[in-house]
Structure 1
């Protein structure tokens, strides 16, 4: 999902390994660049012997244009691809897939401390409110960065008020990133998403599949792509 930290992890690995290669290339925002400037622009950035990162891929044609086959690159080259669509990697024959998960409680608390308190010791009241922030953000790193920075050096009362407001009116920066995933869905997938979010949230998965199938949404192929 958006904001989970795919690009950040890929950038860390790239910075860590890039000096081991004769050439390296981080193709950032493949989805956006290919839409606005075309795939040729991205192809021109590639080098013959590289550590290559393709960030935010969303179409098979991008992979075909940039990394169509292993023999395009010399032995020892390493290619990292970030995408919101796991099936793109599977269908392209990517060898190793790592699914980025949300932060656990300790990691979430550490990131929140960094952003909201700048490593200062929080008061007991702030610490208790932190639990509500962690619950609200559901392990999404982007949310901790945005919300934590907003709450920095604010009183406990303002923390509570901000959380109450966020529950009613989520932050636009977070919504913008998450909406990219929704906008990338096909029409049927969007309808299924809205049905589940509005009417079927928390229901047994088997029962949800039955209802969606009865509505003519073919949930087996949409929800079980593998």
Structure 2
């Protein structure tokens, strides 16, 4: 699910272990970048230039880019995180294979598509889980009150918001920041509104999964939702 914390988990791992590698690179927003004109070439150049800096690498052609990645990075112990992938061609363009980089290298891929990972025969798959109530309450409170616990008088309302968010980290963060320093009446009116109209930012992220369906799958999804 969008907003479940895949990118946040990947960033946390990156920040914790990057110093153990000869070179490292976090390639974010792969799905969006790949849609652009020469998007795959942009991704290739970003990977090569970030790892080989201060050298700036221009590949010119996607096929040549794959060869350059294997030649220039094939002996390096690297940490590469490829974030928000939705097509195996994006990984092919970045030469994301177990034998493309030097011994000890680690590759982490975040995606909504489990089948894509199975096609690559990755070593392991980790599914992000919805936050438990205690964790969700703390995350929301940090954004809404800048404390790990709700302010006096807001506990019931906070629990209502957490229940509404269903353990989704993105929703907890967005609504927590929106309600920061708001009055009780403001919180109550916001909750009433959210019951009818979801927050635009949250809705946009969740809708990404629906938009990724083809027309037939989308129709099936809508029929299931209606009936």
TM-score between the two structures when normalised by the length of structure 2: 0.83
Deviations 1:99-138 (A, max 9, x none): 0011110110001110111117634531011111011001
1:53 counterpart (69, 81, 87): 81
Superposition pairs of residues 1-226 of structure 1, within 5 angstroms: 1-36=1-36, 37-44=38-45, 45-46=47-48, 47=51, 48=73, 49=76, 50-119=78-147, 122-199=150-227
**Distance in 1 separating the partners of 2:5 and 2:92:** 25
* Number of equivalenced pairs: 199
1:140–1:121: structure 2 CA closer, same or farther, 3 Å change rule?
A: closer
Structure 2 gaps, min length 5: 52-72
Closer, same or farther: CA 131–65 of 1 in aligned 2, 3 Å:
same
- Cα pair 2:138 2:149 within 8 Å, conserved: no
- Classify 1:109/1:74 alpha carbon distance in 2 versus 1 (closer, same or farther; 3 Å): same
For residues 137-173 of structure 1, the C-alpha deviation after alignment (integer angstroms, 9 at most, x for no partner) is 0111010111111111112221111011011111111
1:67 alignment partner, SS class: coil
| Equivalent-residue separation in structure 2 for 1:34 and 1:181 (angstroms) | 17
Q: What TM-score do you get using the length of structure 1 for normalisation?
A: 0.84
- C-alpha distance in 2 between matches for 1:53 and 1:148: 28
Deviations 1:14-66 (Å, cap 9, x if unpaired)?
11111111110111011011111421221222441210000000001112222
Which digits, 9 at most, give the CA deviation of each residue in 1:171-221, with x for residues without a partner?
11111111111111111221122122222xxxxxxxxxxxxxxxxxxxxxx
Answer with 181-190 or 77-86: which moved more: 181-190
Cα distance between partner residues in 2 of 1:180 and 1:157:
32
* Distance change >3 Å, CA 82–CA 115, structure 1 → 2: same
Describe the SS at the equivalent of 2:94.
helix
Query: What is the alpha-carbon root mean square deviation over aligned residues?
Result: 1.4
Q: Quote the Cα distance in structure 2 between the aligned partners of 1:121 and 1:99.
A: 28
Cα distance in 2, alignment partners of residues 13 and 94 from structure 1? 18
CA distance in 2, matches of 1:83, 1:122: 33
Q: Please, which runs of 5 or more residues in structure 1 have no aligned partner?
A: 200-226
